[in-house]
Amino acid sequence: MKRLRIGYSCWGFLGDGVVDTPDGSRSYRRPLLDELQAAGHRVTLLQANRDLTEAGLDLRDYYDFSSAAPDLDVVMFEWRWPLPGRNTTACGSPGHTCDLHRQAELIERYTLAGVPTVIWDLDRQLRADDPLRSLPNVRVCEFAVRPTPGATTVLCPVPDRLLDKADAYELARLHRPVSLVYVGNQYDRDDAFDRYFAKAATHLRHQVAGKWTRVEAWPHVNFTGRCAFSEVDAIHRRALATVMLLPHRYARAGHITQRLFEALLAGCLPLMPADVVDGENFVPRELIVADSRDVVQRVEHLQRIAGTLEHAGQLWRALQYLHPMRLSRQAAVLQQVMSDLTAE
């Protein structure tokens, strides 16, 4: 494949960032950019350098940043959408973020001018009837196993280095005082939380870390608030299991997020709700749960076998399901999409 000048638009961080952000792509964003650059492509980041301005991390020796309009062969978007009161307000107003304005500027400068464009719809927010989907120079990519018609599946990429060093036997030996944990924000997860986690939490030592603001219905749940990205792995390493809580728009398409591998690579077994389409593609059948009663039963079994060879065996089997999600494989899919676009 020829070397490309790739413009990458993302509203997030490459490093640990700051606590007050829902940016979940940090688990794989920097490894993906490194993979693209190692393949010989030149990647320029097109949104604000938040690592520098907000987190004090200077990465300019490793990556190019541009607030202008450099010459590009391909532009790639981690898709942004209107968030009232944040990116829909006037520039410079209190609480304003300029991600949406910058994205619109880039679409006009590149996409509408015919430059090959990849839209990675990480949150399933691009409407199925959005006119951008019909442009000949645009390809949409999604995590979903059953993507929107015309879109390409690019699974949530698991960094090869982390997967290769994961040792099921070492992970099984860790002390895990918390039985059930969830790390992530509330967004559109109330139904799944109520069905699979909240009721199970009455029977199990648990923790919920993330931004949960409407919690009156669950006074018994231990909500510990937002945590730093650097704390996510440590929280999972103290817990036996988590539940893959997905919004309906994710569950019905088999759209699996980074929470799966963040937990599993720390030895925290991910329980997959039975209503997640094609969930059996991502975890062994013994980790699929129908309701909170199932969750309690599976976790109580894990409590009995914790630290044993049986526990290690369960972790090993679950880890095998991550191999199709390897970042090297998903980066190859993205590069093929770009190659096809630039050849047209």
Residue 1 has pLDDT above 80, yes or no: no
pLDDT tens per residue across span 272-283: 999 999 999 999
Out of 56-70, 90-104, 228-242, pick the least confident: 90-104
Query: Taking each helix axis from N to C terminus, what angle separates 292-305 and 309-320, rounded to the nearest 10 degrees?
Result: 130
With CA atoms as reference, report the closest residue to 318 among 291, 277, 286, 293. 286
**Average pLDDT taken over every residue of the chain:** 96
pLDDT tens per residue across span 243-284: 999 999 999 999 999 999 999 999 999 999 999 999 999 999
Q: Using CA atoms, how far apart are residues 46 and 74, in angstroms rounded to an integer?
A: 12
pLDDT tens per residue across span 28-77: 999 999 999 999 999 999 999 999 999 999 999 999 999 999 999 999 99
| Strands 42-45 and 64-65, bridge-based pairing | parallel
Cβ partners under 8 Å of residue 42, min gap 6: 3, 4, 5, 6, 64
pTM of the shown model: 0.95
Q: Using CA atoms, how far apart are residues 311 and 314, in angstroms rounded to an integer?
A: 5
Percent of the chain clearing pLDDT 70 (strictly above)? 100
Residues 43 and 37 sit within 8 Å (Cβ to Cβ): yes
Residue with tokens 């006074």: 219
Q: Which helix (H) or strand (E) holds 300?
A: helix 292-305
Residue-level pLDDT at 22: 77
Q: Using CA atoms, how far apart are residues 76 and 57, in angstroms rounded to an integer?
A: 23
Residue 20 has pLDDT above 90, yes or no: no
Q: Using CA atoms, how far apart are residues 269 and 311, in angstroms rounded to an integer?
A: 10
Q: Using CA atoms, how far apart are residues 313 and 216, in angstroms rounded to an integer?
A: 39
pLDDT tens per residue across span 123-152: 999 999 999 999 999 999 999 999 999 999
Amino acid at 126: L
Residue with tokens 């060879």: 309
Q: Using CA atoms, how far apart are residues 114 and 9, in angstroms rounded to an integer?
A: 17
Residue 325 has pLDDT above 90, yes or no: yes
With CA atoms as reference, report the closest residue to 168 among 258, 296, 284. 284
Residue-level pLDDT at 187: 92
Task: Tell me what the mean pLDDT of segment 172-176 comes to.
Answer: 98
